[in-house]
Amino acid sequence: MEKKVVRISVRNLVEFILRSGDLDSGSGVQDKEAMQKGSRIHRKIQKQMGSSYRPEVSLKQDTEYEDLILRVEGRADGIFTEEETVCIDEIKGVYKKLEHLESPVEVHRAQAMCYAWIYMLQNDLEKIDVQMTYAHLDTEEIRRFREFFSREELEAWYQKLTGEYHKWVSFRLKWQEKRNASMKNLEFPFPYRKGQREMVAGVYHAVSSKKQIFVQAPTGVGKTMSSVFPSVRAIGEGKGELLFYLTAKTITRTVAQDAFEILRTKGLLFQTVTITAKEKLCFCEKTECTPEKCPWAKGHFDRVNDAVYELWTAEQSFSREKILEQAEKWKVCPFEMCLDLSSWVDGVICDYNYVFDPNVKLKRFFGDGVSGDYIFLIDEAHNLAERGREMYSACLAREDVMEIRKYIKPYSPRLYRALGRAARQLLEIKKEGETERILESTGTLPLTLLQAQGEMDRLLEEPPSQEVVDRILDFYFQVRDFLNISELVDENYEIYTSEEEDGKFRIRLFCVNPASNLQECLNKGKSTVFFSATLLPMQYYRKLLSTREDDYGIYVRSPFDPEKRCILTCVDVSSRYTRRGYEEYRRIAEYIARMAWQKKGNYMVFFPSYKLLEDVKQVYEQEFAADWVTCVCQTPSMNERDREEFLEEFKEQGETTLVGFCIMGGIFSEGIDLMGDRLIGAAIVGTGLPQVNTEREVLKKHYDRLGENGFDYAYRFPGMNKVLQAAGRVIRTKEDVGCILLMDERFRSTEYRILFPEEWNDMHICRMGNVESILKDFWKRNVLDIQ
């Protein structure tokens, strides 16, 4: 059988095998201007070297092993001959003062040595020179390091280098053979529910044909397993290389981990790593990735490869707990070790950010010129629309520019002047008209900011003190983000100004439709599955998440008995601002009480804001509370432990009633599973419309101009998504029984009813006078021991 060819670039090879020393996130911050300068100085030096100098020479070399062929390839910056001696030249542009450079950086030198060995081997040379050329990006001052290598010396060095890498790829190939064999007889781990087989087939077909698919599947279908199983099978058949399971919330990551674990109990061999945010993995109280502040950063690169290899070759599932345990054992940064593991596994479970966010996305998979046969499974995909808008938008405040300018004056006169120009340009924009208005462009502001960023780069390369770094770093990233996003601005953006409650004048680059930016990331892979219980209307989400014209879409019907669920629209109550006051609060509170009186158990009530929640809760407790009813309340400051304690209150049914007051669109309105008697009813107060603000109005006007219904895009669709998510907490399994109250007169109108899922066609209208009798009849039909 023909041996597999494994390709790797010279740069990636040496940076992986030979990295050493400390982890230091404060070093090496560079912008696009620096990259452009580096390219220019490369070309300038190459031209100055004369006619015998050959620039950008492509080289590659195959090394054959028993199980594979390793192909190392790249381009040498230059090759020239001097007095019959061939010399390989490696050029690097730096901001660091060259007199502080005592010797070449080891990985730079190693790149040149790789090129030297390949050239020596292909041209049958016995000796060769290697030259490191360092050029200062501002002064263009040059410093060179040159050394001689014999054939024997380079051969032994190169064999050791590639041999170390072969250890990794050899294990990976053997693992993949075992993994694929484990899938041959792998079956779906449960009896198929209604709709599940359809979803499994749809996902498999989309992945096999390299397409994207949108799946609207109600709660209880088993969306996670129905997307994971066919994707895993496709990878085993060579129809994909790496699975990314993307989530918006931590809790859904746990569901994904459980799905893979269930398949492993059925015989699947499949390695997965869960990427947790750096702040949550960090051993230090404050996340500061420098050897001075963090003992795990000191010498990190000396140990991390051994730490990764030991864990990778011993386990299948790399959870947060296992990552922390291994990182503590080897004294390495757990977050960086986790990212390194992701390069070698079969599946990555992570937040949306690691694929889409321009600042956070994993460059090893999604950097410029990098792509692969990736399969993306996007859980709760309705969240990606708003998250996409956030990730691809940016803003800058004039007051922040002025503050940093004042601070930086003693340290960098050039930066002081550049920020002065930026502040004046922002002031001119402010004076041109109303504070809140839409602009046609940002004018020359990005060019001025680019100059300022270049000056900050120089300052951060060799800062006068750590205090200066701490003071300007956040601002540096603000400027970087603004510049990066400014390059993306097109017809999918609105540029507007505003003066907000803090008194700051801001210019914002607002991504109204993130589809093209998201699609550019998804095009790095092979296939995408968008799935959620609330992708309605599907055309709306297709417009915001994808630019492809050939996307599939399937609607999976609910597998559950509609007789076990009672949906009521309460038409004599409203959450409109014009109706708010004691009388309306009392009516809402009375509905909650009448719902809870019909059967003892656990209920949740979802409100559009904390203010309305507090107002209604106060009336409820004063006028409708009973001895056998306990109230718990979501608060804005809840940490992870608080959330766990809140959910722990929802125990299996007892002799009391629990009413949880929660926020629609909050942490308890989606992604939680309170099955069986842990939750038997929910009341949704209002239509979930986002609050009116500048951004929402900009969004509305944008879609109005396009001939769409701007109110739908800015308010109604996002609001109804929150309603459907909250309602979906009640019925989670076929054994669940529960009631759902939609408490707002607007739910009766056609504009809202057309957004309800098909399985809600048995909804009933109710009023205060008959709500109890309807619920009593419902519980009588479903529960014998009615309270």
**pLDDT tens, position by position, 751-772:** 999 999 998 999 999 999 999 9
User: Over the stretch 15-55, which tens digit does the pLDDT of each residue have?
Assistant: 999 999 999 875 544 545 566 677 888 888 888 888 889 99
End-to-end CA separation in angstroms for the chain: 72
Q: What pLDDT sits at residue 208?
A: 96
Cα separation, 32 vs 483, whole angstroms:
10
Q: How many CB atoms lie within 10 A of CB 21?
A: 12
Instruction: Evaluate whether residue 184 is within a structural domain.
Output: no
| pLDDT exceeds 50 at position 785 | no
Phi, psi of 170 (to 5 degrees): -65, -45
Cα separation, 65 vs 622, whole angstroms:
79
Token pair belonging to 764? 């009933």
Token pair belonging to 558? 């609910």
| pLDDT exceeds 80 at position 388 | yes
CATH of the domain at 108: 3.90.320.10
Structure-model confidence comparison of residues 204 and 93, the more confident one? 204
Q: Do 382 and 410 fall within a single domain? A: no
Q: How many CB atoms lie within 10 A of CB 579?
A: 14
Q: What pLDDT sits at residue 28?
A: 46
Phi, psi of 66 (to 5 degrees): -60, -35
Identify the three-state secondary structure at position 347.
strand
Q: Do 452 and 578 fall within a single domain? A: no
Phi, psi of 68 (to 5 degrees): -165, 170
Instruction: Evaluate whether residue 447 is within a structural domain.
Output: yes
| pLDDT exceeds 60 at position 501 | yes
Q: What pLDDT sits at residue 787?
A: 42
Q: What pLDDT sits at residue 36?
A: 67
Q: Do 518 and 484 fall within a single domain? A: no
Q: What is the DSSP letter of 80?
A: E
Lookup result for tokens 């050897």: 291
Contact 517, 392 (CB under 8 A): yes
Contact 596, 776 (CB under 8 A): no
Q: Do 355 and 340 fall within a single domain? A: no
Q: Where are the alpha helices (DSSP H) in 209-361?
A: 223-236, 250-265, 278-281, 300-312, 320-330, 334-342, 353-356
User: Over the stretch 407-454, which tens digit does the pLDDT of each residue have?
Assistant: 999 999 999 999 999 999 999 999 887 778 999 999 999 999 999 999
State how far Cα 548 lies from the chain centre.
21
Contact 511, 701 (CB under 8 A): no
From 234, 733, 694, 706, select the one nearest 500 (Cα to Cα).
Answer: 694
Cα separation, 19 vs 21, whole angstroms:
7
- The whole-number average pLDDT for the span 93-97 is 83
Contact 364, 336 (CB under 8 A): no
- The whole-number average pLDDT for the span 112-132 is 96
| pLDDT exceeds 80 at position 526 | yes
| pLDDT exceeds 90 at position 599 | yes
Contact 527, 211 (CB under 8 A): yes
Instruction: Evaluate whether residue 772 is within a structural domain.
Output: yes
* C-alpha pair distances (Å), 658 with each of 599, 725, 783: 11, 21, 18
In DSSP terms, which residues pair with 765 in a beta bridge? Answer: 569
- The whole-number average pLDDT for the span 204-210 is 97
Contact 715, 650 (CB under 8 A): no
Query: Helix 582-597 crosses helix 610-623 at what angle (to 10 degrees)?
Result: 70
Structural domain ending residue among the three candidates 113, 141, 171: 171
Instruction: Evaluate whether residue 179 is within a structural domain.
Output: no
In DSSP terms, which residues pair with 94 in a beta bridge? Answer: 136
Q: Domain range holding 315?
A: 278-345
From 463, 468, 429, select the one nearest 445 (Cα to Cα).
Answer: 429
Q: Do 87 and 119 fall within a single domain? A: yes
Structural domain ending residue among the three candidates 525, 542, 559: 559
Q: Do 421 and 316 fall within a single domain? A: no
Cα separation, 524 vs 356, whole angstroms:
11
Q: Do 286 and 352 fall within a single domain? A: no
For the purposes of burial, counting CB atoms within 10 Å of the CB of 88, is it exposed (0-12), middle (13-18) or buried (19 or more)? buried
Contact 657, 603 (CB under 8 A): yes
Q: Do 438 and 376 fall within a single domain? A: no
Instruction: Evaluate whether residue 612 is within a structural domain.
Output: yes
Instruction: Evaluate whether residue 253 is within a structural domain.
Output: yes
Cα separation, 541 vs 718, whole angstroms:
10
Structural domain ending residue among the three candidates 306, 325, 345: 345
| Lowest-pLDDT range of 31-45, 214-228, 317-331, 531-545 | 31-45
CA atoms within 13 A on the CB side of 517: 30
Q: What is the DSSP letter of 713?
A: I
Instruction: Evaluate whether residue 176 is within a structural domain.
Output: no
| pLDDT exceeds 70 at position 274 | yes
User: Over the stretch 530-570, which tens digit does the pLDDT of each residue have?
Assistant: 999 999 999 999 999 999 999 999 999 888 899 999 999 99
| Lowest-pLDDT range of 47-51, 195-199, 306-310, 606-610 | 47-51
Instruction: Evaluate whether residue 180 is within a structural domain.
Output: no
Contact 710, 703 (CB under 8 A): yes
pTM beyond 0.75: the answer is: yes
Helices vs. strands in the chain: H and E counts, helices first: 28, 25
Cα separation, 691 vs 627, whole angstroms:
36
Identify the three-state secondary structure at position 400.
helix
CATH of the domain at 504: 1.10.275.40
Could you tell me which residues come within 8 angstroms of residue 758 by beta carbon, excluding any fewer than 6 positions away? 555, 557
Q: Do 601 and 702 fall within a single domain? A: yes
CA-atom Rg of the chain in angstroms: 30
Token pair belonging to 251? 């809790």
Token pair belonging to 504? 């700051």
Q: What is the DSSP letter of 712?
A: I
Q: Do 532 and 435 fall within a single domain? A: no
Phi, psi of 115 (to 5 degrees): -60, -40
Contact 527, 723 (CB under 8 A): no
CATH of the domain at 241: 3.40.50.300
Q: What pLDDT sits at residue 593?
A: 97
Cα separation, 94 vs 37, whole angstroms:
10
- The H or E element containing residue 36 is helix 32-48
For the purposes of burial, counting CB atoms within 10 Å of the CB of 103, is it exposed (0-12), middle (13-18) or buried (19 or more)? exposed
Q: Do 775 and 645 fall within a single domain? A: yes
Q: Do 385 and 404 fall within a single domain? A: no
* C-alpha pair distances (Å), 156 with each of 61, 114, 147, 162: 15, 12, 17, 10
Cα separation, 120 vs 40, whole angstroms:
29
Q: What is the DSSP letter of 74?
A: E
Cα separation, 702 vs 698, whole angstroms:
6
User: Over the stretch 706-732, which tens digit does the pLDDT of each residue have?
Assistant: 999 999 999 999 999 999 999 999 988
Cα separation, 81 vs 119, whole angstroms:
13
Cα separation, 437 vs 497, whole angstroms:
6
How many domains are there within the chain?
Answer: 5
Contact 203, 307 (CB under 8 A): no
Q: What pLDDT sits at residue 35?
A: 64
Contact 606, 684 (CB under 8 A): yes
Structure-model confidence comparison of residues 655 and 283, the more confident one? 283
Contact 115, 88 (CB under 8 A): yes
Mean pLDDT of the chain: 93
Token pair belonging to 327? 């990182």
- The whole-number average pLDDT for the span 577-598 is 95
From 390, 419, 418, 648, select the one nearest 512 (Cα to Cα).
Answer: 390
